Structure 1
Amino acid sequence: MGNNMILFIESNTTGSGMKALKRTKEMGFYPVFLTNDPTRYQGLSHIDCLVVECDTNSVRRVQKKIDRFFQTDHIIGITTTSDFYLEIVAELQQVYQLQGNSPKTIRTCRHKGLSRMALDQHQVLQPKFWIVNSKIELQKISTLISYPVVVKPVDDSGSNGVKLCHDIVEVITHTQELLGVHINVRGQSTEQSVLIEEYVDAPEFSVEMFSDKGDIHFIGITQKEIIGNPYFVEAGHIFPAPLSGEQILNIKNTVIKALQAVQHRFGPSHTEVKWTPQGASVIEINARLAGGMIPELIRISTGVDLLDQQIRMVSGSSFHISESKRKVSGIRFLTTNTSGVFNGFDGVEKAREISGIEQIVITAQKGKKIRPPQNAYDRLGYIVAKGSSSIEVKKKMDEALSKIRTKI
């Protein structure tokens, strides 16, 4: 076992986590993957890394496993690509005196209610909001709410449980449903707290940045397409977003102010905003790389691999990028409008023949029960394209999508 180990505490399941393990090895480090369920990750068994099973939902038990199995001075970094393990990673980084954000910063980012309060204290533009922990608290603020509003759990991921509500009956029903969820998809206890916020009907974007030694580095802005009303499911992205220089500057400065408000000082961040007549309004801050294949779009468009940058920083190196190209790239997620049992797609090979189509990937397994999308977990696959403009990229993705039929 090498003296330059990077420990990964679980990962997301969309593929970037497995890619991170591969890249860590290729970059000359020794990847170690700690998980409570190796079967969760497609392709893990084919990756050259040490897999250690343990209760990753307990900091104490992870620390006990690390101390038992590893020479801790050989560990140069600890990280994750999963929202659900950011807080545990921050605590472990502190225990072993490794680089990272403070546990307080990560908790503020993970808990959407705490994020809202921090932004409010620093006068960052954002929607009006209320945090409720019980039906009684909801009744106390019911007369203050103007509709429609977005109701969401404070600590989930992938747009899970996020819903647009148009009256107090819908708000009460959805709030009670969320407060009744005690365990999330990773087997962790939930906060059992709900965020109710003003619905901002405006175009949505995400902003990718890296923080390093007090400096905040701007990577770019992604345009988002949202479907699934009354739910909020990301159906596609375009990078870079087609925005004016004035819009880019306003969004950039707003997000920098937001990151300073939550004291984010290390590594990647993925901040979602909406463009309003008053400027960029912050929807949420994530102390991690973007999901939804956005890092892959950035790699195709600029040549910059954000996963590499995350690994470099975790290993102790400073942030450094050098763009080698500037193209436009996009992704369109495959979804269904009907419920049933998934039996694959027709037309995928024809769609792959279209010029400019980079990838078509099917993520859903045959036999899976599918439905019209309510969260990111309901997506069935994706199309990635590149071109010289956002209009060209969208046209290529539309053409590819028109050739694909879902078999149910």
Structure 2
Amino acid sequence: MTDSTQHPWLVLVESNTTGTGRLFASTGRALGFTPVLLTADDSRYPYVAADGVAFLRVDTGDPAALAAACTGLVARAPIGAVLSSSEYFVAAAARLARQLDLPAPDPDAVVRCRNKAMQRRTLAGHPGAVRYVECSDADQAAEATRQLGGSVVVKPCFGSGSEGVRACSGPDEAAAWAQRLLAVRHNERGLPIEPRILVEELVTGPEYSVEVLDGTVYGITAKHLGEPPFFVETGHDFPAVLAPADADRLAEVARRAVEVLGLDHGPAHVELRLSARGPVVMEVNPRLAGGLIPQLVRLATGIDLIAATIRSAAGRGPGGPVTRGADHHASIRFLLLPDDGEVRTVSLDRAWAVPGVVEAVCTATAGERRQHHHSFRDRIGHVLALGETATDAASAAEAGRRAVTEALTDGPVPVVEPAAARP
């Protein structure tokens, strides 16, 4: 890092590799900060070189190393805010911000959210609570499935992006999936994982997310999921089209969940199902929404959640309007290969030709082989569309996605041998 500056630093503790990670850096710069990424491996972030983002190589798993890096930064300019857009480092960023006397969520509250078992225990008795059982072996998972009625969701206690989450229709299936999850002892970043899982009741009904910042609801997103038994998010619509009473119920249950968990500061992305018994909390994530939902919010309403999050972390308040009626509707559909295989061609021309499409991106390249994960890692791009109505936006995004997928696969995708056995 060779440049010098008098602008306050926006310290980013690791990041998403694309999407909001890049946008936090560019938005921070537009707000008068100098973004600096603290990372163990800057090569993971192509935007760092492309956008000229300053970085420091730091052991981001070591709180003392993070504090020492900030001491060096303070010698050159004040630190204005500390954040992370990475699910795995939001707690580390909160601890570091508190050490520097900067606004931040309670680190203990972030940890409660990150550990899904702790989150479930904290939310017990909340009106949107799910029935669940914590398990440490396959036999316990089978028994929990019987207790919960036979149709359940089995998931790891840690993770994001639907990684390892699966619906199971009976004790044997639940036990087999539990055994597979319990055999994994490290996450994709090499960090150790607690050998425990959750078996939860299977809740049916449409899925939504409520976007919250500093305890205030900014809007509700309608979410689209892929084929069972997995829960891969295939797209989002903002704002969700809901009866006013349903929107109020979703917002209130989300606000109360965030309050019970102690997230009185910073962003929260609350996922819920609108079931026959009312809104049920699937997860509370102590971070801004992923899946380019902040982009949808900005396009539909003009509210920039990334800028608001940075302002909040700098103690400036969210800035701008907190609530506002939607002027437009925005939708995103993700590009997903149907199975393990090879990308034949990549062409976005037909997607761009669809009226209403404002962004079409594919991160795969022709000849590249991809493995199916049944999680967010299956995404290889997206199509984003804007419309005067919800139907206009969703139809355009769907048409754009179909156009890219047809050109992308160019017929059946050849199956390659996966690295690990699939369920």
TM-score (norm 2): 0.90
- Is 1:40 equivalent to 2:44 in the alignment? yes
Shift of 1:125: 1.7
**Counterpart code for 2:277:** Q
- Is 1:160 equivalent to 2:163 in the alignment? yes
CA change 1:284–1:72 in 2 (3 A) is farther
Between 152-161 and 188-197, the greater mean CA deviation after superposition: 188-197
Shift of 1:305: 0.9
Within-5 A mapping of 1:5-404:
5-68=9-72, 70-71=74-75, 74-121=78-125, 123-135=126-138, 137-138=140-141, 141=144, 143-211=146-214, 216-322=215-321, 323=324, 326-346=327-347, 348-371=348-371, 374-404=374-404
Between 233-242 and 172-181, the greater mean CA deviation after superposition: 172-181
CA distance in 2: counterparts of 1:229 and 1:272, whole angstroms? 18
- 2:60 counterpart SS class: coil
- 2:339 counterpart SS class: coil
Q: CA RMSD in A?
A: 2.0
CA change 1:131–1:28 in 2 (3 A) is same
Contact preservation (8 Å) 2:303, 2:320: yes
CA change 1:373–1:240 in 2 (3 A) is farther
CA distance in 1: counterparts of 2:44 and 2:329, whole angstroms? 33
Consecutive unaligned residues in structure 1, runs of 5 or more: none
CA distance in 2: counterparts of 1:328 and 1:17, whole angstroms? 24
Contact preservation (8 Å) 2:137, 2:182: yes
Between 321-330 and 175-184, the greater mean CA deviation after superposition: 321-330
Shift of 1:135: 4.1
CA change 1:154–1:249 in 2 (3 A) is same
CA distance in 1: counterparts of 2:187 and 2:365, whole angstroms? 22
Contact preservation (8 Å) 2:268, 2:285: yes
Percent of paired sites with the same residue = 28
Shift of 1:341: 1.7
CA distance in 2: counterparts of 1:14 and 1:149, whole angstroms? 33
CA change 1:324–1:142 in 2 (3 A) is closer
CA shift digits 1:300-354 (9 cap, x unpaired):
10011111011111111012333596101100111122321223334x2122022
Consecutive unaligned residues in structure 2, runs of 5 or more: 414-423
**Counterpart code for 1:285:** V
CA shift digits 1:189-244 (9 cap, x unpaired):
21222111111121000000111xxxx21111110110042111000111011101
CA change 1:197–1:142 in 2 (3 A) is closer
Shift of 1:295: 0.4
**Counterpart code for 1:264:** L
CA distance in 1: counterparts of 2:365 and 2:403, whole angstroms? 20
CA distance in 1: counterparts of 2:165 and 2:367, whole angstroms? 27
CA change 1:344–1:329 in 2 (3 A) is same
Contact preservation (8 Å) 1:359, 1:384: yes
Contact preservation (8 Å) 2:239, 2:326: no
Shift of 1:367: 4.1
